[in-house]
Amino acid sequence: MSEAGTTGTGSVRPPAEQRAPASKAQPPATAGKDGPVYAEDIDALLGRLGASSSGGLDEAEAEARLAKYGKNRLPDPPQKSALRRLFEQFANPLVLTLLAAAAIAVVVGFTDHEGGILHRFGDAIAILLIVILNAFLGYYQERRAEAALDALQKLSAPSARVRRGGKVKVIAAEDVVPGDLLELEAGDAIAADARLVQTIDLATEEAALTGESTAAMKDALAPVTVDAPLGDRVNMVFTGTTVVRGKARAVITTTGSGTELGKIGEMIRSVGETKTPLEERLESFGSTILRACLVLSAVLLGWGFLRGGRPWHELLLEAVSLAVAAIPEGLPAITTITLALGMQRMARRGAIVRKLPAVETLGAATVIASDKTGTLTQNEMTVRVVYTGGKRYQVTGEGYDPHGAFRPEGEIDLETDKLPAPLTYTLSTAALCNNAHLEQDKETKKWRIVGDPTEGALLALAAKGNLARESVAPSHQFVHELPFDSDRKRMTVITRDQHGREIAHVKGSVDVLLPLCVKYATDDGVRGLTEEDRRTITHVAEEMSGQALRVLALCRRVRKDGVEDGDVERELTFLGLVGMMDPPRAGVKEAVATCKAAGIRAVMITGDHKLTATAIAKEIGLWDEGDEAITGSELAKMTDEELTKRVEHLRVFARTTAEQKLRIVRAFKAKGHVVAMTGDGVNDAPALRESHIGVAMGLGGTDVARQAADLVLADDNFATIVEAVREGRAIYRNIQKFIFFLLSSNMGLLVAVFVVSFFGKWPPLTPLMILWINLVTNGLPALALGIDPPDPHLMREPPRDTSEGLLNRRDYLGILYVGGIMGAAAVALYVLSPQDETGLLQTRALAFSLLALSPLFHAWSCRSPILSAFSSKPLVSLPLFLACAASAAIHLVAILVPSLRPVFRTYAMSPNEWMILLVLSALVVPAVEVAKAIDRAIRKRTA
């Protein structure tokens, strides 16, 4: 590029030394007195920055600015230490209550001078072990690290070419400063946000930042309005994007956290963590249980002091026992393990969970706000329609894969018949008037484009017709190229064929090329282009555009004698039209239909154009009658209140910025929706973080999006979301099952401990006994319920009401009913036993086994809240059977092993005692079956 250089096409700008001397810079800013840097007069901007458009800064000035403004990198995010993360696991009301119970048990242990360490401090040791185990489970559960900003750092270009002191040099990207001149060419990663000073056929790839799938054309001289969205700022280049073709010189306006990429980083930091519905419900649930157990423990302790006659440490131990009985200690651990098992099942289906509660949250989603590019679509420009020789050809085959076929009008078989001449000419020109090339990944076998996506689509098109450039190019010698630019709106490549003829291959916009055409290639040969032909071609082009296809015209001119470049693009022969788009992913249409059946509203949020986005929405079945589309510019004029009012009717959000995506997600949340946000670009990251659950693409997505998300689709398949929703709903149902199981079993313990404690002579269950029942014997059946097979009708039901708790009124009545039966059976043992000390101690051992074995029978009734345990499908759940058998065997160890009897205070029971124990333990099954039958009859009558 010359010192004067070109801006746009053919425009020459005088050297900047004649206009703005390189003086000490003012602080870099995104706006001057004339508005934002992209709308500011270039001369005024250069003067304000103390910059030169030709020589650049000198080294001394660059060093001074680096010292003043700092390195061109994002600030390091605050990181939590491993120790702090571990300690945070104890900041839970239930865990703090257990710690208090352990402390009391330690005090009681010191007052008891009988027995060994295990006898005196066994209860405290057991409680502490449970608390520590739960803390470590929670520690490893937190997989969502504060790494989004680290990923943004990785996106920064490692080096940059700058002009300093009149010479071009390569420096570290973090050392560039405001006022530096960037020298850009194809393949360069852009080091900082910069205003273009000179451009030659420049195009950049900005999909990760703006969401737009096509290369963005840039022009240093193009006027840009103050309210232009990010994707329309054609005189700017941005950090984190790359140059796909052309050359340019640009003056850096902003570095570090002030760049557009940096602003997204700030938004990610400001959003923070959003609690999932499951986390909120479990927290509320835990607080409720905590309040209830504290009240009951206080009542029991007060009653003991009023009654008198017993040492204070015994009363405290009873209160601790009651607290331990009321708190479902296994709930956090079993919930975590159930979610982890669900995570493994989802991983096998291609969905990687980064935060465990996200497994369940997706099942509660009422809105899926999906990015278009790379999520609903392939992010690969593909030619869908070719019009040539008066015929349309539908093109099959995905993306840049050169394998595919044409489906023409008529009876022609393109696989066996010779291609029609107009189609041959069209495909040959598509292959030759092209600077891109296709590559196949050796591992994935996936084809990708090196160069402009539009040209990649044309290469793939030619290859599908067996006219790949590798087969066409040998018979054509390259002579000259007239590159594409935004003024001419066309590109020409001149080649010499084997007959010595020079052929100009031209591609460009229809409105520019059609007036230059005088001939028409048809199946019967080349003839003159009539006015009727022009009207037909224009009509076809408009039809294609109405289908959101990007339309290009392909022409050529054969000449035998040399002429000047300036007149080669005249008297052209019209070959055909190609219509291309970024097509929908396979399976997306079916996934959208399934979401509709499940009562989930899917909306599209994209940086692409409104017409294109709406057409894709209609093609995949996303668009319903009465739906509306809105652009980012229209959205910017709306207040948050206005957006919240209209958001239920909006289906497509086009040309949106990262900040606007945040507003959209917040608007849906304000309407009470559980929002799942999918995306793959840098610009999606803040909204991913703000949503209840962020879903990122694993293959085509950016590091930033993946790190900000809760769920990553390893196969980039939108249809995987449907399976994730199904799995999430199934997991929530199973969580409800095992919570009902645990609480109803705990209620039996609570009733027994509370009632027995009111009778001074009756020895209550010890905290160790209660923990053994809660965790050892109840834990495995609860886990088995957590992996029960899903109901096949789950995806035909609407999402659950977010205002509902984990359990409803019917569930709480069931907990009282079942707990009352279990507790009453245990109390009955005390009532019927001999009232001497030995008899009562043996009765306590019997009650211990009764309350340990009764839940193993009850677990089979918990598989369905309505259906009989004998009508469940399958009738016998193998995981539940194995869990109950294992729990029973573990409990028998505590009873039958002589060395463990002193620890658990059990004894060798007689056969009659075993018979009574089993009958009372199984009593809960017929009792629950009767209650279910009554409930079904009431439901049938009121239906």
Judge whether 424 and 487 are in contact, CB under 8 Å: no
Q: What is the DSSP string of 429-478?
A: HHHHS---EEEE-TTT--EEEES-HHHHHHHHHHHHTT--HHHHGGGEEE
CA distance 804 to 416: 64
CA distance 128 to 763: 24
Active site residue 788: no
The residues, ordered by sequence, that sit 6+ positions from 693 with a Cβ below 8 Å of its Cβ are: 276, 358, 361, 362, 365, 674, 675, 676, 677, 710, 711
Count of alpha carbons within 13 angstroms of residue 820, beta-carbon side: 8
CA distance 604 to 678: 10
C-alpha torsion sign, points 509, 512, 514, 519: negative
CA distance 717 to 170: 40
CA distance 926 to 919: 11
- By three-state DSSP, how is residue 562 classified? coil
CA distance 108 to 97: 17
Q: Which of 175, 201, 232, 371 is catalytic?
A: 371
CA dihedral 526, 532, 537, 539 (to 10 degrees): -170
Count of alpha carbons within 13 angstroms of residue 264, beta-carbon side: 32
CA distance 779 to 765: 19
Cα→Cα distances 186→615, 778, 799, Å: 32, 64, 49
Which residue, chain included where needed, has tokens 């469940």?
872
- By three-state DSSP, how is residue 370 classified? strand
Contacts 24+ apart (CB under 8 A), 286-292: 286/92, 286/93, 286/94, 286/331, 287/93, 289/94, 289/326, 289/327, 289/328, 290/93, 290/94, 290/97, 290/327, 292/326
Q: What is the DSSP string of 833-897?
A: S--SHHHHHHHHHHHHHHHHHHHHHHHHHTT-SSS-TTS-SSSS-HHHHHHHHHHHHHHHHHHH-
Residue 675 has a CB neighbour count (10 Å cut-off) of 26
Cα→Cα distances 781→223, 282, 559, 697, 789, Å: 69, 20, 84, 36, 14
Chain centroid, CA 522 distance in Å:
50
CA distance 258 to 586: 39
Judge whether 369 and 363 are in contact, CB under 8 Å: no
Judge whether 334 and 782 are in contact, CB under 8 Å: yes
* Catalytic center residues: 371
